[in-house]
Every structure is written in C-alpha cells, then in structure tokens.
Structure 1
C-alpha cells in the first residue's frame, strides 16, 4: 500500500504535462433529481451588507499555462498563434495571475529556446523525454498576461537549469525596454518534494535548499524588487505520507537563508483514492471535506515558518489546485480513457464544487498571495478548457468567480447548518460533521453577491438568508448542478428572486453551487 502511494505521488507531477485526448463529461443514467421539497432545517446565513472585512484578493483567480503540445492545444500547431476557439474561452476566464512554463515541464525548460522567430527556436525536452519546439515562449506568455491584465508568475528550472540561467531570465523580462509586463513573482522550482521520474532532475531536500539560495541571490542581484517563492510540503496530508523525503520541510526551511517572500503549496489535490474501494458517494463526500485537510496543512505550514523564520512575514501561494481521484493513466496509458472511471472524475460536477470550495477558502484567508488553478486547457482531465476546445465543469466556476473576486469580503454569520458525515478516501480522513452548506458574501458598490455550496449528495436544502438593514431588493440566482455529481453534464439554472423585509428563502439543489446576486438601493 505504501509503495503504491509513493508510485502515485511520484507520477502526479509527471502526468500533469501529458497531452491526452478527452471528451466532455459523459452522460450516464445517474439518479434522477426528484421533485422532493427542500429540507427545511433552520439553516440561516446572516449577511452584514455594510460590514466589509477587507478588500478581496483578485489573485486567487489565477491559472496555469503549460508550454508543451502547443501549450496544451492553446496554440495552432507549429506556431505561436493562439487557436481562436481556445482564446475565445480563455478571454472569458481572463486569469488574474498566470503561472508558466508548467508544473513538471518547468524542470526541463530552458527559456532561451523559446525566444526569437519560431522556426529558429531550438527544440526543448518535455517531461515525456521528447523534443519539441516551444511555441508558447516567454514573450507569447507575457503578451497573454498583458491581454488579460494577469500577474505573471514564472517557475524557474531548478532541476536541470542553473542559477545563472534563472538570473538572466529575470534580466530578459525585467531589464528591457518594451510594453510587456515585468515579472514580479518567481517560484523557485516545482515539486522537489516528489521523487523525480528522470534521474537528471532529481535532488535531495538539502540540494534543493542550496540551489534555491544560489538562484534567489543571483536573481535578486539583477532585480532586487522581485519576490521569490520557495516550495514547501509537510510530511503528511490528512495523516498520510505525502513526500518520500521525511523531514523535507524542516531541511528546506533550515537550509534556505536567502530572503524569500512566499511559500508555494500544492496541498490542494484531493481526495486521491489509493485503494479504489470507495463507493461513488463516499468519494464525493471525501471531495467535499478536502478543503479541511488543505486548511490544516496551511496551519501546519504557518507553524513551520514561524519556527524557522519567526521574524519574516511569508504569504502562501497555492500555485496548483484541482480535484484529483486516481492515476490509472500510469498503469494503462491512453487506454485509461476507456478503462478508468475514476481518472476522469476530475472533470465532473464534484471537481467543479471542489474548485468552488477552494476559491471560497482562498477568498476568506488573509495571508494568501495567489492561487492558480491547474490548468487553463487540455492537460489530461485537468484543463478548464478541454482538448476539443469546450468548457469543462470547472470552467463555469472559474468564470462565475470573475464577479466574486471584486469588491470587499463581508462579515457573515451562519446558524443551524446541518452537519454532514464524510467518508475516508486517500488523503482525506473521515469527518464526523462538516457543514453541509458553505457560503461567503462579497460587495462591489451597490451589488451584493453570495456564493453558496450545498455539499449534500442527496438533499435539496433551504437556506434562509437575512440581510439586516436591506429591506426590499431585487435578486437573481444562478445554480450550477447536475443530476449526478460524477456522471452527468453540468448546467446553469437561472431564476429571479426578491428580498422582502431583509430576508430571502433559497432552495439549494443537492450537490450544487449557487451565486445569488442582489442589487441594493
């Protein structure tokens, strides 16, 4: 069992860069959504429309752009030109932060191979061991950042590159005269806490710390204003081993003495079933409990940072996040498209609800620098835009959050939310009672928006929303749902509503994500 878990862990980073043809969510029979009345359990959410806690951080709506395979289909083949269908959808998402040049593929990326005329560029190695010409080079990437107003985040090649190469990349992006954005944020390597699948890319935690020191010094000698992010991982997630390098975080934090400004975490892929013995409902409820493990890991990371760097204010950056269930692709390759049920659960309503829950937590957490969904397009079952250039379920959540990251976070209070027991799966231990409804509220001018998750796999629930001081107002609700959380296509359902005497009663479809929009005054 331990060996299987380690094999899966070592393969997660490897598969992220693979180009695997997929389709939209399959339609199965599933359970019909009965016209049963909503469960009335006294659940109340009070939203204080005039009590803003702090401005929202727009950088939680970041994304990832992986360079190989024509940037995972984003570019026309053998060119630097975006494919129109992909660009049209990506424009709708307009990520607020964009990480590049990949996850594991950054370990083999040499930036000089991606500049100049396309037909003059040297081929670059991919994580699959192949050579490919870079269409999505540094300038093409920064042009997209400019187009979307996205904050650039570059992950340097610490595995097979050098400190000097990283420093010259800083010089190239930040010390030349053009209209492309400067790069302020730099991630120092990618997932060195996992065993490398290529020998030349492997390093121990001590080697990572030494290389990170050298790279940060060299890069800040070119531009002292940049911010560096080091890669951290605790020994366990949810009590389960999460790195083969025991004591990784202690070794790294003791070893890195050069100033760094943020910590990069990927403790955001859940639940990851190792044994595959769970029922679909058990997998779903574990997915709904995943953010609790993520939050526990955040606090464990903060404690380690306080222990080793007590006088340094360090923000957290979730530079990759998405749902993850299994890695049958490591056993069956492309045949897993047909043989695996659980691999493709990523691109389901359950995966979309997990993404919405992550974005809720990031929005409510005040020491988050940014969060980057993995990934923008293609990329096995991960991309928000599929290999066919169509929206996947997470796309709709990410698009809805364009409105939910504007303005200020509001104070809310919840009472009477029904608790829900969840099953154990992978990194997620069984939970006796998580809230079956989660919500947060934001305000932009006269517009109030409330994002609500009904995590219950079976029950339609009623949420009574109180708005002290509001009185009467027009409202509309958009609900993202599906007849089955793993097997059915998702769709939005729209309905109008009205606030009377500062209250509204909202029926929430089972396993659904709802955005309630209220126009004040």
Structure 2
C-alpha cells in the first residue's frame, strides 16, 4: 500500500463490521454514520509527495459560447457575413428560436442577419471573391424614400457598460454615402442609440463608430436590435462588422470580456488547456495576424463558426491576465510535426521569452473516430514519436502529454503508447466525461443517481493507480511518466441528476478534487472542463455568471495547501451496485470524504470536506494534533436547498459559498457539515 492510500481512506483501522451486500440492493449502506463523527488529523505525519498547483488546471475549447459570444466580447454573430458556418442541427435550432431568419436566408442574407423590412423583398446580393474579409461580402441596395438595411438581435451587458465601439468595412457603389448604425428596441421602430459615418470610398475602407446607450433605456437581459442602414437609393458593399463593449480588454478594437476575465482570475487556476475535439482540425496560423484578415470557417468538430479572432495571441493574453500558463494541444489529426514545432516556437517566444518548458499535449482523444484524421492503434506510436521529436527539437524542456485512454478501458491503447522509446512523453492523458444518468440499473430514481455519481471519484482513484502500475511495469517509463487528467466532467440529461450546471455536479467536482489530492503523486496535472461554460463561467443574454462547481474550484484552488497530512476517522460508508455504466460497482464509499493538507510555510492547515449523505447533516468532532491552531478557524461552505439548484442569467448567485467561523480550543473543533455539501476549513497557527 502506497503512502497516498495509507493516509486517506476514512475507514482504515476502524472496528465497524462490514455488513454483507444484498444481491438485490443497488445502494447498500455498509455502515451508518455515528451520531457524532470523529476525525483525527495528525499534521506531523506528512505524505511523501506534494499537491502540485497543476492539478487545478482548467480547459478552454471553442464550443458553445465559451470563446465566441463568451470570453471574446464581440456582440455580433457572423460579423463577416459568411455562409456555411453552422451545421444543419445548429441552423435548425437557430430557426426554431428566430423563425424570421428563414425568410432572411431566402433573400440571400447570411444567418443570423435579417432584413430591416422584409416587405421590401430582394434588396441584398451576396458577392464572392471580392471581400474585405474571408470569402463573401453583402451588397445592400437602398429603396428611395425608405429605410433599407440589415439587422441582428443582440444582448448588450448594459448592467456594466453603456458605450459600444464598432467598425465596418464598406465599398461605395452608387448614390448617397451615409451609413447609419443603430441600437433599436427588439422588433420595434424605437431607436435607442444612433450614429453615422460617411462612406464615400469606392475601395474597401474601414470605418469606426461609437454607440452610446442612454441610462435606463435598455434593461439587463433585454434583447435589442443592431441595425446598419443605407441612405435612400444608396448601394454599398458591406463586410466585417464588429461591435464590442467599450470596456472590453483590448486587443486592437475589441477584446476579452472583463467580467469573464475577472471571474477566471478568481479561480486561481495555474494552467489553461487550449484543446479538445477541435484540435484535430485546427491550424494555428489561421488565428494569428491582423484580425481583419483572419478567415471565418466552420469548426467541424462542433458545427459552429470559427472566426479565428480568438487565436494564439488572444489566448496567451488571457493566460497572462489570469496568471495561468498555457497548456496547448497540438494537431495530430490533419496537422504535421513541422506545424506543431512552429507553434511551440511561436508560443515560447511570446509567452515566456523562449524559456520553453510549457505543457504540450500530443493530440486529443485520438482513439475517437469523431476526431479528424484519427490514427489506428498501429499508427499511434509512430505518430506520437514523430510529433514528440519535432517539438523537442525546438524546445527540449517541453513537458509532453501523449494521448492516453480513459480510466475504465485504458490497457490496450496505453500499452501501444508505451512501446515508444524512453523520453517520448512525460505524461499519458486520460479523460472522464461521464453521463451520470446512464446506469446499469434500469429506471433509477434520483437518489440512486446522486449516490452513484458521488461515488465515482472513489473508484476513479483506484483505476488511476492501475494505470500508473502499467506505466511503472514498462522499464522505459517506470517512475518517470505519470498521468495528466486533461478533461473531466459530469454530464446529465435528466433534470434530477448531478450534472455540471447544478449543485449535485459541484459535490461530484469536490469529491473529484479530493481524489486528485489523494493521488497527486501519480496525477500531477489535471484540467477541469471547463473554464468557460460546463462547470465554469457562463454568459447568456449579456450576463456573466458561474456554475456551482466554479465555486468549488475556487475554494480548492485558492487554498494554500501543498502537503497532505494524515487524517483518519469513522464516518460510515456505502457501496454501489449496477450504478453509472462507466464504473457501475463501487465499494467502500465514505459518507464524509476528507483531505487535510499544510502549506509550505507550515502556518496553515486546510481541511477539505465533502458530505455525500443525502439526508443527514453530520455533526463532527475534529481533533488536530501536530499543529498549534489559533482560536478561530475560517469556514467556507457550499450547499443548496436542492441538488438540482443552478445559477442562471436570471439568478446568477443562487448557489454561492457561505463564510463563517468556528472556535478551536486545544486543537479541537466541532463542525456540522450539511447533507450534500462542500466545506473548506482553514486553520492558522496561533
């Protein structure tokens, strides 16, 4: 038994008799919690490894509105007026939400733009091959004596900013030369803000403008219409229309959403992984250089636009703003070793003055046929090796993460990777994106789903030990190569199941962090999905908010805790049979899951506590030895009236941590841990 396994199981050494499991039982309580739980912390007994900051990495991928219409503060969609930027599923969803776009498309307007007055009929002509940006521009043919133009529904963060800066490219063709930009009330003639530019140039020219929203004229979450109008019988070719809040953190005109950057900084994440399924079709040079010249295209992994305005430089700037290092996944699908090596050199030069030594991931989920250009098992080792050699040639200090398999079926795939020569990679990745309402047990109730989900990290820790044993059994990699858990997420489709958006998902995330700290000697790198959307930061209708799991991440990553110390106790436990399909049978799941750790200075001791019990608040006496604690400890607790409570744009702070204090006397303290909760206790030396 390793040090990590000796220090942490709460049932080790207890006298409780384990009751036999009934074959018909699905959740079996092996030992009920006592009326008062006792925990003993011995701060003098330190584990033989450290908790690296890198287990608190996060993950960013252009999916949903994580980057575009999210972190990247551009208000408009399809600003370059292109076609074929969405797959049919996303187009169908768009048309269900805005049925009027069907008629707009028939008139030749690119989604999601629509005509100001559909009764005017055909007044729009797409032009290909002569565009200021990308492939296509749009000619607008004015109607004499009438307003003619294009419109897009927008949500503006007016609760934070009332000034909006924009630009557009225009080429004058005929008639008057005045372009008018407006914010109107949605589906209304009421003009809220308006400005004009004189666009006389017959060559493509960029024009800047500002729109000022009067105080109180537009409410938070209220839709508005952004309008571009031509003057009378004017004919003009339009392209690349931008609109940004004036407070966007600038990268030229436009930039990053300041609310999202602030919340990301407060997560205290040391790593941000730039990767995912899009990696296998991403060519990094598409996302560098002048933003007006970057080409919009389909993100084939997710069927959504890739505007390329959030590229490498923007990502690196985001990392610097939040105090994180980049962890980049290179293209092992359609990419080449030369392309990857050039990207490494580019990033090293711009992020850390050519010092190198950053984390680079050699592909993403290459075992999945959904990834472009996926290799067969026979191709895998050679492709990994050639990519590794190309990167190490430009950065010998690079920390390389080769693609491994998931913890529940890793053996064959990882064995193929381990046929490579020593030094080919430093880590094998693993992912666990699990559907929590997919169970072996038919028709499970909500309580079963919750208990089975909360148990998953316990079994994951055991699986990770097996993965490490396979590496250690390969001489070329033994005790030098470890696991990088580069994606993890709890997904549920039923409303009554723990998932990344609700309080149940936050409890699962906290149990996952406890597992990572207990196994940090073999898993020194981990990235939660994701820093934007999923279990992280969301933006809807112009409002930025966070999932409950975001606050768990903040509580854990913000703690000053680097060295695990011994913690034992008897808290009761349960077992799962026929649970979540990926890991259906899990024994010895403690109701109260705890980790204790000191900081480097030795003046702070932190306890991380997850109460998995669905109904019982657990009154707990904690005895601390080997640490002279001050008279008061600080407590942060995250819980909610229901496991299914979420934060939303309407109610962005429904589930947030509560702060309190508890008295410490002679190294003893009593805490009550609410059922289905996460608590972090910080003790300082007296």
Shorter-chain TM-score tier: 0.7 to 0.9
Q: Which residue of 2 aligns with 1:329?
A: none
Deviations 1:22-74 (A, max 9, x none): xxxxxxxxxxxxxxxx9743522222234443543111111111135571511
Alpha-carbon distance between aligned partners in 2 of 1:457 and 1:511, rounded to the nearest angstrom? 6
| Aligned length in residues | 458
Q: Which residue of 2 aligns with 1:360?
A: 514
Alpha-carbon distance between aligned partners in 2 of 1:188 and 1:459, rounded to the nearest angstrom? 46
Alpha-carbon distance between aligned partners in 1 of 2:663 and 2:443, rounded to the nearest angstrom? 45
Q: Is 1:451 the equivalent of 2:608? A: yes
| Aligned match for 2:360, one of 145, 162, 186 | 186
Give the 4+ runs in structure 1 shifted more than 6 A.
Answer: none
Deviations 1:243-291 (A, max 9, x none): 8xx9323333235666211111113646451567221111111111111
Deviations 1:439-459 (A, max 9, x none): 112233433221111111111
| Aligned match for 2:467, one of 296, 301, 319 | 301
Larger helix percent: 1
Q: Which residue of 1 aligns with 2:236?
A: none
Q: Is 1:402 the equivalent of 2:557? A: yes
Q: Is 1:113 the equivalent of 2:286? A: yes
Q: Is 1:46 the equivalent of 2:40? A: yes
Q: Which residue of 2 aligns with 1:438?
A: 593
Q: Which residue of 2 aligns with 1:60?
A: 55
| Aligned match for 1:90, one of 241, 264, 279 | 264
Change (3 A) 1:391 1:181: farther
| Aligned match for 1:460, one of 603, 611, 617 | 617
Deviations 1:136-161 (A, max 9, x none): 21111112222233122110010111
Identify unmatched segments of 5+ residues in structure 1: 1-37, 327-339
Larger strand percent: 2
Alpha-carbon distance between aligned partners in 1 of 2:319 and 2:438, rounded to the nearest angstrom? 35
Alpha-carbon distance between aligned partners in 2 of 1:132 and 1:434, rounded to the nearest angstrom? 43
Where do residues 30-45 of structure 1 align in structure 2 (5 Å cutoff)? 40-45=34-39
| Aligned match for 1:266, one of 431, 437, 443 | 431
Where do residues 60-459 of structure 1 align in structure 2 (5 Å cutoff)? 60-67=55-62, 69=65, 71-72=67-68, 73-77=70-74, 81-100=255-274, 102-126=275-299, 127-175=301-349, 182=356, 184-196=358-370, 200-233=372-405, 237=408, 247-254=412-419, 259-267=424-432, 269=434, 271=436, 273=438, 277-312=443-478, 313-326=480-493, 340-341=494-495, 345-365=499-519, 366-378=521-533, 381-387=534-540, 388-404=543-559, 406-423=560-577, 424-444=579-599, 445=601, 446-459=603-616
Alpha-carbon shift at residue 493 of structure 1 (Å): 3.1
**Rg (Cα) greater in structure:** 2
Alpha-carbon shift at residue 519 of structure 1 (Å): 2.6
Alpha-carbon shift at residue 191 of structure 1 (Å): 0.6
Instruction: Check conservation: 1:173, 1:183, Cα contact below 8 A.
Output: no
Change (3 A) 1:183 1:310: closer
Superposed CA RMSD: 2.8
Partner SS for 1:260: coil
Instruction: Check conservation: 1:142, 1:180, Cα contact below 8 A.
Output: no
Alpha-carbon shift at residue 350 of structure 1 (Å): 1.4
TM-score (norm 1): 0.80
Where do residues 478-497 of structure 1 align in structure 2 (5 Å cutoff)? 478-487=636-645, 489-497=654-662
Partner SS for 1:205: coil
Instruction: Check conservation: 1:210, 1:256, Cα contact below 8 A.
Output: no
Alpha-carbon distance between aligned partners in 1 of 2:286 and 2:384, rounded to the nearest angstrom? 23
Relative contact order (C-alpha < 8 Å, sep 6+): which is higher?
1
Instruction: Check conservation: 1:384, 1:394, Cα contact below 8 A.
Output: no
TM-score (norm 2): 0.62
Alpha-carbon distance between aligned partners in 1 of 2:368 and 2:576, rounded to the nearest angstrom? 28
Alpha-carbon distance between aligned partners in 1 of 2:570 and 2:561, rounded to the nearest angstrom? 28
Alpha-carbon distance between aligned partners in 2 of 1:250 and 1:180, rounded to the nearest angstrom? 34
Q: Which moved more, 1:342-351 or 1:480-489?
A: 342-351
Instruction: Check conservation: 1:278, 1:425, Cα contact below 8 A.
Output: no
Alpha-carbon distance between aligned partners in 2 of 1:283 and 1:196, rounded to the nearest angstrom? 28
Change (3 A) 1:178 1:462: closer
Identify unmatched segments of 5+ residues in structure 2: 1-31, 75-241, 243-252, 647-653
Alpha-carbon shift at residue 509 of structure 1 (Å): 0.3
